[in-house]
Amino acid sequence: MRIDAHAHVWPREGKLNSDLLERLVDACDRLEIAEAWCSCPVTAGMGDPETVRRYNDFVLEAMRRYPERIRGYCFVVAGYCRQALEEIDRCLNRGMLGIKLYHQYLINDPALFPVVEKAIEARIPILCHAGHGTDQETRRTQPKISDGVHFADLARRYPEAMLIMAHLGGGGDYEWSLQAITDTPNVYADTSGSVIDEGMVEYALRLLGAKRLLFACDETEEGGVGKVLGAEISETERQAIFWRNAAAIRARRVR
């Protein structure tokens, strides 16, 4: 049993990219991943409400095609506050399980507070693109990418929120970000990312404990499974990371 807490579907020529979706489902079949929690964020620019709605529709279509395998995060841009809250309601009513944020705003920006409060009310998680960039290119291209300090600040303001700091293995100085969230128990870290440093999972476990780590792939399925299988941790800890923690988060949602 494995639940990938960070996956994606993408558009192609204005439609859902069916080839990529089929590859994702095939990878899940081969790697015993029961569920892939998918989003379709706007990764360049702000993303107007019409585009955001269209991208979420791609996720809803994937969910319709594979209702037992694909689950959805609703992507929103906080600057369009009224539309964002309406879009969250629309997507939750159609079966999505959480909210996805990218790097349009820092996660602790006050513009996001209504979205966070909506998530608390519905008892759903917020997965946010994250990283502590150490190079000038990252700072230039993603000036508002959130790191552990931003997550910790928001978590202290909203201790009821369930926040997921994305791609432990793909966000620059992950040790720095993990240290920043050590004392904020409502922040989880997902294990996704193409970086597979030896001892990465063990380091995160020592700082956060097994209950705050979520197995995730972010389109690197083989590496995502391998880094958890290869970690020197107990089988109880491995199962918590692979699926028990995600299942517990999913079960909290207000229906």
pLDDT tens readout for residues 34-90: 999 999 999 988 889 999 999 999 999 999 999 999 999 999 999 888 999 999 999
Residue 235: alpha-carbon gap to chain centroid: 24
Q: Flag residues of the chain having pLDDT under 70.
A: 135-139, 171
Determine the pLDDT at residue 195.
83
Rounded-to-10 torsion of CA 134, 218, 220, 51: -100
Determine the pLDDT at residue 120.
98
- DSSP bridge partners of 95: none
First to last CA, the chain: 24
Quick one: CA dihedral 150, 75, 98, 168, positive or negative?
Answer: negative
pTM of the model: 0.96
Taking a C-beta distance cutoff of 8 angstroms, is the pair 43, 2 a contact? no
Residue 187's H or E segment, with its range, is: strand 187-190
CB neighbour list of residue 255: distance below 8 Å, 6 or more residues apart: none
Taking a C-beta distance cutoff of 8 angstroms, is the pair 72, 41 a contact? no
CA 39, CA 99: separation in Å to the nearest integer? 9
Determine the pLDDT at residue 196.
84
Residue 11: alpha-carbon gap to chain centroid: 19
Q: Which domains occur in the chain, in start order?
A: 3-251 (3.20.20.140)
Determine the pLDDT at residue 172.
76
Taking a C-beta distance cutoff of 8 angstroms, is the pair 87, 79 a contact? no
CA 113, CA 218: separation in Å to the nearest integer? 26
